[in-house]
Amino acid sequence: MARGVRAFIAIEVPAEVQEHAGRLIQRLRVSNAKVKWVPQEQLHWTLKFLGEIDLNEVPEICAAMSAAVGELAPFDVEALGAGAFPDVRSPRTVWIGMGRGSEETIDLHGAIERSLAKLGYRTEGRRFRPHLTIGRVRNSPLGIPELGKLIEQNAQFEGGLSSVFEVTVFSSELGREGPTYTPLAHVELSGR
């Protein structure tokens, strides 16, 4: 019997951008808000959360992704700005935004959504906004105004530029120390 895993599709983030993000996290961490900060080596631009999948489905998912992204050309993305969902006054998710490359990333996301919908994966109802999740705020009012101010002070954060040549299917295993992400497959953007 095949094994099931939680899986998602993402763009990997190079070490240089991770280091910039780590410095931003250090600046935000001084608030006494209860936040579960994402380790910098786990940062990624999520394109689609697949949920629980059977490992036997990975080749089919990769074929659908290849069909979706194979014609798209590689492009650059810029980690730019800090913010929070739903907003800085009541942050639940703290993120780094995307400057350059956001339109290409939205197109990439749309192509993956349409291709995976043919395999029965639900499409996202809300508009896709590329972002790097750097922290999840715990249910506590402690330090929230201070955290919101720090996020606003870093709204112009510059996290660096990186090139997108491929998308990656990751598995996510939850452990006591948090999730462990393992690449299952890479799909190249091979358009011109």
Tens of pLDDT along the chain (192 residues)? 457 889 999 999 999 999 999 999 999 999 999 999 999 999 999 999 999 999 899 899 999 999 999 889 999 999 999 999 999 999 999 999 999 999 999 999 999 999 999 999 998 888 899 999 999 999 888 899 999 999 999 999 999 999 999 999 999 988 887 788 999 999 999 887
Has 20 been annotated as catalytic?
Answer: no
Catalytic residue among 20, 44, 109, 186: 44
Quote the CA–CA distance of 20 and 25 in Å, as a whole number.
9
pLDDT at position 178 is: 78
Secondary structure in 3-state letters for 133-182: EEEEECCCCCCHHHHHHHHHHCCCCEEEEEEECEEEEEEEEEECCEEEEE
Measure the CA angle with vertex 22, ends 133 and 184; round to 5°: 55
Quote the CA–CA distance of 72 and 125 in Å, as a whole number.
24
Has 186 been annotated as catalytic?
Answer: no
Q: According to the CATH classification, is domain 4-188 in 3.90.1140.10? A: yes
Distance of CA 116 to the CA centre of its chain: 18
pLDDT at position 3 is: 73
Contact 58, 184 (CB under 8 A): yes
